């Protein structure tokens, strides 16, 4: 069963951390995916053009190496609902957004972007496989005829191979929090900075600012 396809929109900011606080106090323990993927499956193999790492503090750009249908082996994923995630608050503001913060301050507003704008993941699910199941699938991937060349191909370029243990899936929503009629003066100032904010977020993520059922975070296990 190819469960939970997708991904996110614009947050995947350089330098963002993956252990930021969610409104409910929960923690997102995953690496942000940049850009959002349309098909990311737990249990399957992916690669990234980087040194292998277990750190969750950097965004990751992944490409599929070998897909495996875990349901064919009577394996069930653990799926739980996760609170909405404020992506602007979850990430450290990148250098590319610092200029926009400076403009806000110069206009007499707070430099806190999330006070005026929202980039949020809603209807969030975390889909994971248990450790024994993930190891069993890894054995099957290594023996699979269609996956036999993955080690050689990755070693050739020195790239990292990862098996996906968990994915975070949700709908991405961008909005402006300040009502245009109720706060005309503030709204006019936000009109000045919003185009730059949108452009920066889109450029950082290589995608738009909204999407349904998108994978915006993964927990990747290094494989050699």
Which is nearest to 166 in space by CA: 21, 18, 30?
30
The pLDDT of 54-61, averaged and rounded, is: 88
Compute CA distances 62 → 30, 139, 161, whole Å: 14, 21, 9
Q: What percent of the chain has pLDDT over 70?
A: 80
User: pTM for the whole thing?
Assistant: 0.78
The average confidence (pLDDT) of the chain is 80
| Segment 99-153, tens digit of pLDDT | 888 999 999 999 888 889 988 889 999 999 999 999 999 999 988 888 888 888 8
Residue 143 near residue 68, CB atoms below 8 Å: no
pLDDT band, very low/low/confident/very high, at 19 (cuts 50, 70, 90): very low
Least confident of 18-32, 83-97, 125-139: 18-32
């Amino acid at each position: 069963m190819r469960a939970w396809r997708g991904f996110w929109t614009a947050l995947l900011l350089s330098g963002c951390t993956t252990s930021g606080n969610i409104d409910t106090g929960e923690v997102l323990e995953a690496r942000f995916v940049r850009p959002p993927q349309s098909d990311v499956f737990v249990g399957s193999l992916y690669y990234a053009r980087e040194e292998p790492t277990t750190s969750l503090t950097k965004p990751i750009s992944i490409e599929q190496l070998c897909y495996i249908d875990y349901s064919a082996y009577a394996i069930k994923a653990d799926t739980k609902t996760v609170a909405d995630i404020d992506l602007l608050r979850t990430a450290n503001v990148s250098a590319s957004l610092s200029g926009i913060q400076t403009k806000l301050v110069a206009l007499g507003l707070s430099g806190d972007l999330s006070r005026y704008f929202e980039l949020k993941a809603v209807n969030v699910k975390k889909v994971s496989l248990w450790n024994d199941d993930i190891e069993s699938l890894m054995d099957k991937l290594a023996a699979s005829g269609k996956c036999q060349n993955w080690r050689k191909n990755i070693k050739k370029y020195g790239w990292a191979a990862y098996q996906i243990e968990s994915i975070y899936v949700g709908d991405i929503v961008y909005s402006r929090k300040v009502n245009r009629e109720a706060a005309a003066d503030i709204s006019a100032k936000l009109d000045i900075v919003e185009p730059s904010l949108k452009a920066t977020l889109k450029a950082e993520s290589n995608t738009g600012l909204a999407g349904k059922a998108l994978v915006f975070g993964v927990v990747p296990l290094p494989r050699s």
